[in-house]
Amino acid sequence: MKTRSVVTMAFLLSLTAGVSQAGGDAEAGKARSAACAGCHGVDGNSVNPEWPNLAGQHPGYIAQQLSYFEDGTRENTTMAPMAQGLSQQDRDNLAAYYAGQKVKTGTADPELVEQGKGIYRGGIASKGVAACMACHGPAGKGNPGANYPALGGQHAAYIVGQMKGFAAGNRKNEAAIKIMKPIAERMTDEETRAVATYIQGLF
Ligand code: HEC
Ligand code: HEC
């Protein structure tokens, strides 16, 4: 039952996500990324755990999030100004550049990793929280066709921040509100930290 509803939801969202599939030019994106490197790293691996790695992320997801920051669908005072003045071609070029980089995986906190693994792979049945793996993949690679982002190797601090942000409604696009908000709302701080540290060590 649960698996079936997740699959149905995934199918419906893949129809409505409006994923940008236009081809970007990675070389042009690399040139443009000079403005981003101070926070996201030259190769898309950020040095501050509050700032997301972009390396290896799906290009459609990166380009789409950039337009959400620009129009306020995703609220963030640091990224909003960075996303202004980019054309669709700039977004696609930047996305192509970062998608082609390799994410550097971190390490998981040994005290929380088992609990986190259980949630990632099996969900929390008592609360109706679906397994993260169902959409983000067993190795955290996501699903480009459905525009489910890759998570593997992402900084735990950033993941925790986004889960809080989903719960608070900072990300207002349909997938965020319909899928991630109800998941994030049902998880305790400890459960969120546990799954985040597992993801940080996942590749
Ligand atoms: C001053 C630091 C800073 C700079 C410069 C910056 N970013 Fe960001 N970026 C952030 C932060 C912080 C976040 C997380 C925002 C949030 O919490 O929603 C973020 C998030 C993102 C995301 C969303 C990633 C995800 O996994 O959802 C993308 C895409 C992104 N930035 C692209 C860029 C690009 C492209 C540039 C250059 C044009 C850039 N950023 C410049 C700090 C920065
Ligand atoms: C039914 C599919 C589905 C399931 C199950 C799911 N996610 Fe997601 N997740 C998504 C989608 C879709 C997005 C992109 C939302 C958007 O566009 O803002 C997302 C985004 C995220 C992000 C933001 C990534 C970034 O780079 O900013 C995090 C973190 C996340 N999910 C964590 C989890 C965790 C942890 C679980 C399990 C407890 C989980 N997800 C379960 C579909 C899912």
Cα separation, 138 vs 44, whole angstroms: 23
Q: pLDDT by residue (tens digit) across 181-194?
A: 999 999 999 999 99
Residue in 4, 13, 12 with CA at minimum distance from that of residue 147: 13
Asked if residues 154 and 199 have their Cβ atoms less than 8 Å apart, the reply is yes
Q: pLDDT by residue (tens digit) across 151-172?
A: 999 999 999 999 999 999 999 9
Cα separation, 85 vs 90, whole angstroms: 9
Q: pLDDT by residue (tens digit) across 44-67?
A: 999 999 999 999 999 999 999 999
Higher per-residue pLDDT: 23 or 195: 195
Cα separation, 200 vs 183, whole angstroms: 19
Q: How many angstroms does the Cα of residue 162 sit away from the middle of ligand 2?
A: 9
Minimal-distance CA residue to ligand 2 atom 40: 132
Q: How many angstroms does the Cα of residue 28 sit away from the middle of ligand 2?
A: 29
Domains in the chain and their CATH numbers?
2-12+105-200 (1.10.760.10), 18-99 (1.10.760.10)
In sequence order, which ranges of 17-111 are alpha helices (DSSP H)? Answer: 26-32, 37-40, 59-71, 79-82, 88-99
Closest atom of ligand 2 relative to the 13 alpha carbon:
12
